[in-house]
Amino acid sequence: MTTLLDKPVTDPEQGRRDRNSARRSLVGRIVTHLCIIIGVVLSLYPFYWLVVMSTNTTAEIFDYPPKLTFGPHLIENVTAVVENIDLIGALINTLFVSLACAVLVMFFDSLAAFAFAKYNFPAKNVLFVILIATFLVPGSLSLVPSFVLMSEIGWVGRFEALIIPGAANAFGIFLLRQFAAGSIPDELVESARIDGAGFWRTYFYVGIPMLRSGLAFLGIFTFIGAWNDYVWPLIVLVNPQQQTLQTALQTLNSIYITDYSMVMAGALISVVPLIGIFIIGSRHFIANIAAGALKG
């Protein structure tokens, strides 16, 4: 036996509001996904066009309307690249320089960032302000002074001129300092001190594990920047046997006639390793972010 109190109360206005809210939510999700899809397509199209040009001839690249499909000339274009430059040597040189820069930047930047975030020392804030002020100085202004310094040291034509000046940077210190300030609890550092851990032990056993996701991003960012660097290696490397990939690919451009299909094939070769590095590094980056979200 049911009573009036047992009957569900229906409100036509509330039902209409719920349907309108659900409809707006559905429209919002559709618009969001459409924007994401458009963004992905726009981001991938330059790479797709690079592959198209690498697989066709120069004449087909300049056809009108342009050819938007892959061609059969990829092996031919890659062979032309190998015949015109020391591709393997340039790849090895670039990989060595990029890895060395990434490792040194991750070490020195995380060390400085950990000290700035979790330790007090004289003139700490003044030094950090000076560090941030270096962002205002364009990198091109340091080319001539840097070359003069490398010449005085005797590093012109040596890989040290590419690696050592980039062993630390203000961007990485600022990034990891902000990351450390928010992700490393002061109580954890104090516990390590109480247990007798010094600075280095606290840094390696507390700082590094907590900064892994930030280090993954910084490592990827630094590796890509060193891999794509063109101006500084062009200035400081005078030995053709020590060319990096970007300076070697520059020699494919002729003064009178340029085989654009060959140039694009070389550009494709230079991009493929970066995609692999990004995929490997981003796995750790995303995994650590997810782990941090679950812990929080």
Taking only the tens place, the pLDDT of each residue in 229-244 is: 888 898 888 887 888 8
pLDDT in tens, 177-225: 888 888 888 888 888 888 888 888 888 888 888 888 888 888 888 998 8
229/140: higher pLDDT: 229
217 part of a folded domain: yes
- Determine, yes or no, domain membership for 47: no
Range of the domain at 199: 75-295
Residue 4 predicted with pLDDT over 60: no
| Percent share of the chain, pLDDT over 90 | 9
Residue 76 in contact with residue 55, Cβ under 8 Å?
no
Give the total number of structural domains in the chain: 1
Of residues 103, 106, 112, 108, the one with CA closest to residue 132: 112
Residues 86-101 have a mean pLDDT of 90
Q: Is residue 224 part of a domain?
A: yes
Q: What is the pLDDT of residue 47?
A: 87
Categorize the per-residue pLDDT at 285 as very low, low, confident or very high, splitting at 50, 70 and 90.
Answer: low
Q: Residue 100: is its pLDDT beyond 90?
A: yes
80-99: average pLDDT:
89
**Is residue 102 situated within a structural domain?**
yes
Average pLDDT over all residues of the chain: 82
For residue 259, give every residue at least 6 positions away whose Cβ sits within 8 Å of its Cβ, in sequence order, or none: 58, 80, 252
Poorest-pLDDT segment among 34-38, 103-107, 198-202: 198-202
| Domain presence at residue 88 | yes
Q: How far apart are CA 132 and CA 120, in angstroms?
A: 18
pLDDT value, residue 121: 82
**Sorting pLDDT into bands at 50, 70 and 90, what band is 293?**
very low
User: Would you say 68 and 52 are in contact if contact means Cβ atoms under 8 Å apart?
Assistant: yes
- C-alpha distances out from residue 110 to 32, 189, 265, 285, Å: 36, 15, 37, 16
User: Residue 269 belongs to a domain with what CATH number?
Assistant: 1.10.3720.10
Share of the chain above pLDDT 70, in %: 89
Query: Is residue 263 one of the residues assigned to a domain?
Result: yes
The mean pLDDT of 54-83, rounded to a whole number, is 84
Measured distance CA(14)–CA(5) in Å, rounded: 19
Beta-carbon contacts of 105 under 8 Å, excluding residues fewer than 6 positions away, are 166, 167, 168, 169, 172, 218, 219, 222
In a domain, 37, yes or no: no
Provide the pLDDT confidence category of residue 254 given band limits of 50, 70 and 90: low
User: Is-contact 97 244, C-beta < 8 A?
Assistant: yes
Do residues 189 and 127 make contact, with C-beta atoms less than 8 angstroms apart? no
Averaged pLDDT, 266-270: 88
| Cα 161 to Cα 99, 135, 224, 235, 288, distances in angstroms | 15, 21, 18, 10, 34
Domain assignment present for residue 230? The answer is: yes
